[in-house]
């Protein structure tokens, strides 16, 4: 842990402020500035070279409260991390956490008052120079023309995230997650260009590029002796195109149809239900597998579950991560899982971010797990290395 990071502490209570300052000193952090007021902290922030790496922030302050302070940080495109310190209840901390995420700022963790040395040390240990948030100002979506040019120029590349069996840890397959290798901006995540492609009518072109590449990679894995199911994300607009089932069948020649999973999320309402039903039924007849993605969010819900022939149900990460700890999340997680089991579908838990999430999952009947704890999305070339490492980790357990 780098003890030279620049830390701001903001708390209106002089006693807590002193306690935090002293505890940080005991932990060996030398660059700590304490503030009783938000405006003073912001003034220090503006001094060249003073931008903090981490801010410990009290939520409940009389003049400028923590939520207003966060808004000012978002306006300044703060790229460090926040630690929330509060005497407020769990729900308040969670709501604030969510709000901070909507500003695309990073939260290292939350600390309930009174703070202890162990709590502070555990949260600060999570800091790494790679924790850099993506403030909105730096993440304005690209325009349709630029996205179209990227598709045509072949700048999209596929990453693959492992999906493993919960009971045995064995790798079942991968989910294809597209990235854009932007010549100036580096690797761009899909949230910044998929919605653009969807609204501008280019998603069909994009999906076909991603699918083609994923299927040819799948053939390479097959030749190398890896039996992996490859999942590809498709949007409802893809299924509203009558030629989609034939396109998939033509591209998947030489592969077992069961080895392709199409993950369907519905961000918007279905416009052309009869075509979508037609395409899904034909894909199903040809034994390609269909998955309802992010179940329980947006429009991915009971209506689709009833109407479309799904084989797999993916429980959204927001219901998996922390379900071990939060009774409300656990209730939603378990109902979604039961639904999948009752309907004879495979259940996949997304968002397995840490050892606690994984341990919880192992107590359930969920079939498959996916998440950062198991493996991050990676280029195809990194997968064999990940497999060795994962096998080693499973043996250690």
DSSP letters along 352-365, please? Answer: --SHHHHHHHTTS-
Please, which of residues 313-352 interact with ligand C2E by CB under 6 A?
317, 351-352
Does residue 239 contact residue 281 with C-beta atoms inside 8 Å?
no
Residue 387 interacts, among Ca ion, ligand C2E, none and using kind-specific CB cut-offs from 5 to 8 Å, with none
Residue 371 interacts, among Ca ion, ligand C2E, none and using kind-specific CB cut-offs from 5 to 8 Å, with ligand C2E
Category of 148 on φ-ψ map: left (φ > 0), alpha (ψ -120 to 50) or beta: alpha
Closer to ligand C2E by Cβ: residue 212 or 284: 212
Residue 52 interacts, among ligand C2E, Ca ion, none and using kind-specific CB cut-offs from 5 to 8 Å, with none
Q: Which residues contact 24 (CB under 8 A, 6 or more apart)?
A: 7, 9, 32, 120
Residue 190 interacts, among Ca ion, ligand C2E, none and using kind-specific CB cut-offs from 5 to 8 Å, with ligand C2E
- Kindly tell me which residue out of 90, 125, 145, 191 binds ligand C2E, with binding defined by CB under 6 A: 191
Closer to Ca ion by Cβ: residue 53 or 266: 266
CB of 233 to Ca ion, least distance (A): 5
CA 358/CA 374 separation, integer angstroms = 9
CA 287/CA 274 separation, integer angstroms = 20
Identify which range of 85-93, 128-136, 183-191, 337-345 contacts ligand C2E by CB under 6 A: 183-191
Taken as a whole, the chain contains a residue count of: 397
Q: Which residues contact 38 (CB under 8 A, 6 or more apart)?
A: 10, 61, 63, 64, 65, 68, 69, 72
- Kindly tell me which residue out of 12, 53, 148, 293 binds ligand C2E, with binding defined by CB under 6 A: 293
* Residue 178 binds to ligand C2E (criterion: CB under 6 A): yes
* Residue 66 binds to ligand C2E (criterion: CB under 6 A): no
Query: What Å distances lie between residue 92 and 67, 86, 98, 279, CA to CA?
Result: 11, 9, 10, 45
* Residue 96 binds to ligand C2E (criterion: CB under 6 A): no
Please, which of residues 110-149 interact with ligand C2E by CB under 6 A?
none
Identify which range of 22-30, 72-80, 189-197, 281-289 contacts ligand C2E by CB under 6 A: 189-197
- Kindly tell me which residue out of 21, 38, 80, 371 binds ligand C2E, with binding defined by CB under 6 A: 371
Does residue 361 contact residue 340 with C-beta atoms inside 8 Å?
no
Longest dimension (CA), the chain: 70
Does residue 260 contact residue 288 with C-beta atoms inside 8 Å?
yes
CA 274/CA 299 separation, integer angstroms = 17
Closer to Ca ion by Cβ: residue 204 or 265: 265
Q: Residue 374: name the closest of 356, 354, 359 by CA.
A: 354
CA 367/CA 344 separation, integer angstroms = 12
* Residue 235 binds to ligand C2E (criterion: CB under 6 A): yes
Exposed, middle or buried, 345 (CB in 10 Å: 0-12/13-18/19+)?
buried
Contacts with Ca ion by CB under 5 A lie at: 233, 263, 293
Residue 317 interacts, among ligand C2E, Ca ion, none and using kind-specific CB cut-offs from 5 to 8 Å, with ligand C2E
Give the count of beta carbons closer than 10 Å to the beta carbon of residue 279: 23
- Kindly tell me which residue out of 372, 378, 387, 390 binds ligand C2E, with binding defined by CB under 6 A: 372
* Residue 265 binds to ligand C2E (criterion: CB under 6 A): yes
- Kindly tell me which residue out of 177, 337, 349, 368 binds ligand C2E, with binding defined by CB under 6 A: 177
CB of 210 to Ca ion, least distance (A): 12
Closer to Ca ion by Cβ: residue 19 or 314: 314
CB of 364 to ligand C2E, least distance (A): 17
CA 203/CA 226 separation, integer angstroms = 30
* Residue 75 binds to ligand C2E (criterion: CB under 6 A): no
User: Would you tell me which residues interact with ligand C2E (CB under 6 A)?
Assistant: 161, 177-178, 189-191, 194, 207, 210, 233-235, 263, 265, 293-294, 317, 351-353, 371-372, 377
């Amino acid at each position: 842990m780098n003890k030279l990071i620049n830390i701001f502490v903001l708390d209106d209570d002089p006693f807590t402020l002193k306690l935090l300052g002293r505890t940080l000193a005991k932990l060996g952090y030398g660059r700590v500035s304490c503030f009783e007021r938000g405006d003073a902290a912001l003034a220090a922030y503006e001094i060249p070279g003073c931008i903090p790496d981490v801010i410990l922030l009290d939520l409940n302050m009389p003049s400028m409260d923590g939520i207003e302070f966060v808004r000012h940080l978002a306006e300044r495109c703060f790229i460090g991390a926040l630690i929330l310190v509060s005497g407020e209840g769990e729900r308040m901390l969670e709501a604030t956490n969510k709000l901070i995420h909507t500003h695309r700022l990073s939260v290292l963790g939350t600390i309930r008052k009174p703070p202890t040395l162990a709590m502070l040390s555990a949260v600060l240990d999570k800091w790494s120079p790679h924790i850099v948030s993506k403030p909105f100002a730096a993440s304005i979506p690209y325009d349709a023309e630029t996205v179209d040019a990227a598709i045509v120029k072949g700048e999209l590349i596929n990453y693959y995230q492992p999906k493993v069996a919960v009971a045995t840890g064995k790798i079942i397959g991968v989910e294809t997650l597209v990235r854009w290798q932007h010549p100036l901006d580096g690797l761009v995540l899909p949230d910044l260009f998929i919605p653009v492609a969807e609204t501008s009518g280019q998603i069909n072109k994009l999906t076909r590029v991603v699918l083609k590449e994923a299927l040819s990679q799948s053939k390479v894995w097959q030749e190398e002796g890896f039996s992996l199911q490859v999942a590809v994300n498709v949007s409802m607009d893809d299924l509203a195109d009558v030629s989609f089932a034939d396109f998939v069948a033509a591209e998947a020649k030489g592969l077992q149809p069961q080895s392709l999973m199409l993950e369907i999320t519905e961000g918007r309402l279905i416009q052309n239900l009869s075509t979508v039903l037609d395409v899904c039924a034909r894909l199903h007849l040809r034994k390609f597998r269909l998955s309802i993605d992010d179940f329980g969010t947006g429009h991915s819900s009971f209506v689709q579950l009833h109407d479309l022939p799904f084989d797999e149900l993916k429980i959204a990460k927001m219901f998996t991560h922390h379900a071990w700890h939060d009774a409300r999340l656990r209730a939603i997680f378990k109902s979604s899982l039961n639904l999948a089991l009752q309907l004879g579908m495979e259940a996949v838990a997304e968002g397995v971010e840490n050892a606690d999430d994984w341990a919880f999952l192992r107590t359930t009947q969920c079939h498959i797990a996916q998440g950062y704890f198991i493996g991050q999305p990676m280029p195809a070339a990194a997968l064999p290395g990940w497999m060795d490492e994962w096998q080693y980790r499973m043996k250690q357990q």
